[in-house]
Amino acid sequence: MSCAGEGFGHVSRMISFAQGLQARHELVLFAPKSVQHHIRRSLPQAKVITIPYFHLTKKDDRILYIQTVRQNLAKAIRFRVDVRAIRRQLQQQRVQAVVSDYEPYLPAAARALDLPVLQVNHPGVVLQYPSASPDALIASAVARLMMGRFDRRLYVSFYNGDVGPILRSEFSNSQVTRGDYYVVYVKPTYRRRVAAELERLGVSTYRMFPNPHLNYAESLAGCKGVITGAGHQSLSEAITLGKPVFAIPQRGQYEQRINARMLVASGWGMKGRFSNLGKTLPTFIASIDRFPHLPQAGYQDEHGNTFRFVNDREVAVQYIENFVREYAGTGVVQRFIMNVQANMQHTLQALGLAG
């Protein structure tokens, strides 16, 4: 299994899957150094192999696209060399199937060895929301590059996903209550600004994260609301535990813009920007007791968006197990035929012509 090295959502999903699979399978985790401390904390005995990763260059709450290209150019040039090294690791570890969360290195190495690839991620949902805006076009192109080639794909999302949110075991083991404090999870450069606004509103009870001295899962389970960015994993963890969210999407990041929009559509929160924090955050604080605005389970809004706010880890783990059982040991031609058959069955079911 592999994951991207930017943001906590990718490694969180990989950890969750590993927790669900490790009793029945031998796992090899391929991860960038930037997220390995998270893996070691939750899976101290895991076998972890380091891989490179492509990253976004940011300034404040903006993505700098030109600088991003420049800083990743050397990695793009070395891509084939790095893939060959990962391919050797796959051979040495006698890997039979690959699960990747939004990174192109392991899928490319697996393809060279004719191994089956299951792509599991959230950011790929941008392909379901086409737009002519520059950030949307860039996001779609990046999604295709980051996912690489795969045999099957599984979108993880609280809106219109193949499965719903995936939460780590720590969240399942936390007792959900409603305390008198807020959880604030924002970048270090924004903490002072959010804290100042909360103090201005008379809110003195909040817990700021990341914080090595506090348990995030327990704090989230016991809070009355969350103030955070618009990363999918943070939003999913909060609303799955029934916590209203005030989301601040990163400027220029189309996926986060969609996440925030769908959060509002689901009835579980509000969105805002740092530029209008003084207007939007007070509204969220004042209306905290009125969430959710809409029904939670399986609700479909007037635009056809379906929302799911339950931990679907066991569903996704079963999907992974089925994939490995069906595909391990098959060749590329046989997998192509199997995929065509699966797509035909899915289409017939959608038309009501098959059981």
Q: What is the pLDDT of residue 302?
A: 60
Supply the angle between the helices 277-286 and 188-200 in degrees, to the nearest 10.
60
CA dist., res. 259 & res. 155, Å (int): 14
CA 307 to each of CA 157, 242, 342: distance values in angstroms, whole numbers, following the listed order: 8, 13, 25
For residue 338, the model assigns a pLDDT of: 61
Angstrom distance (rounded) from CA 312 to CA 155: 12
pLDDT of residue 121: 97
Residue 14 exposure: Cα atoms within 13 Å on the Cβ side: 33
**pLDDT in the model for residue 304:** 67
Lookup: tokens for 217: 């899962």
Q: Which fold has domain 175-290?
A: Rossmann fold (3.40.50)
Question: pLDDT tens digits for 296-307?
Answer: 555 565 656 789
How many percent of the chain have pLDDT more than 70? 89
CA dihedral 180, 186, 191, 194 (to 10 degrees): -60
Q: What is the pLDDT of residue 65?
A: 86
Burial of 206 (0-12, 13-18, 19+ CB in 10 A): middle
Q: Which residues contact 58 (CB under 8 A, 6 or more apart)?
A: 64, 250
Q: Do domains 2-155+313-350 and 175-290 have the same CATH topology?
A: yes
Architecture of domain 2-155+313-350: 3-Layer(aba) Sandwich (3.40)
Count the neighbouring beta carbons within 10 Å of the beta carbon of residue 83: 21
pLDDT at 294 over 90: no
Per-residue pLDDT at 205:
95
Confidence label for 251 from pLDDT (cuts 50, 70 and 90): confident
DSSP E strands in the chain: the ranges are 2-3, 29-31, 48-50, 58-59, 62-63, 98-101, 117-121, 152-155, 182-185, 206-209, 225-229, 245-248, 269-271
Which of these, 281, 172, 181, lies nearest to 223 by C-alpha position?
A: 181
Mean pLDDT for the chain overall: 90
Which of 77 and 174 is assigned the larger pLDDT? 77
Whether 318 has a pLDDT exceeding 90, the answer reads yes
Enumerate the domain spans of the chain: 2-155+313-350, 175-290
Of residues 352 and 236, more confidence is placed in 236
Question: Given this model, what pLDDT does residue 342 score?
Answer: 60
> What is the C-alpha separation between 59 and 40, in angstroms, rounded?
29
What residues are paired with 300 via a beta bridge?
306
pLDDT of residue 332: 60
Which ranges constitute the DSSP H helices of 22-129? 33-42, 65-77, 79-93, 105-112
Q: If you ran DSSP here, which 8-state letter would residue 156 be given?
A: B
- Indicate if the pLDDT at residue 333 is higher than 60: no
Q: What is the pLDDT of residue 329?
A: 67
Radius of gyration of the chain (CA): 21
Rounded-to-integer distance, Cα 226 and Cα 70, Å? 35
pLDDT (average), residues 99-121: 96
Categorize the per-residue pLDDT at 172 as very low, low, confident or very high, splitting at 50, 70 and 90. confident
Among candidate residues 53, 20, 29, the one with its CA nearest the CA of residue 321: 20
